[in-house]
Amino acid sequence: MNWYIDVLKNYATFEGRAGREEYWNFTLLNVIVGIALFVTNHRMLGVYMLAVLIPSIAVSVRRLHDVDRSGWWLLIAAVPVVGIVFLYFMLQDGMPGANRYGFNPKDVIA
């Protein structure tokens, strides 16, 4: 749950890097909330989807930065068959050490 809150706190931060754990936990919780809202209240689903649109884009861009790709690679997800490349990038392990987008999120001491 902390990953979800952290992403929402940095809702419009497109700089830096987001690890796989941060991206996938945020995505998983979005899917769970989306399904729950779909089953219970369709109107709130639309409001929720609009509310998490920018945070979703931001965490996706930061995830692409973690694999040393530009945020513009996010547009490839809109191409039907070629969009599988986007999924591959999201599943990849981040670049070790610092890259041009910042330090490695795995190197942070908790």
Q: What is the pLDDT of residues 49-104, one digit of tens each?
A: 999 999 999 999 999 999 989 989 999 988 888 888 888 989 988 888 888 888 88
Which pair of structure tokens corresponds to residue 54?
A: 């920018």
Domain count, the chain: 1
Contacts of 37 (CB under 8 A, 6+ apart): 44, 45, 48
Neighbouring-strand partners of residue 99? 102
- The structure's pTM equals 0.86
The residues, ordered by sequence, that sit 6+ positions from 45 with a Cβ below 8 Å of its Cβ are: 34, 37, 38
Range(s) of the domain holding residue 10: 2-107
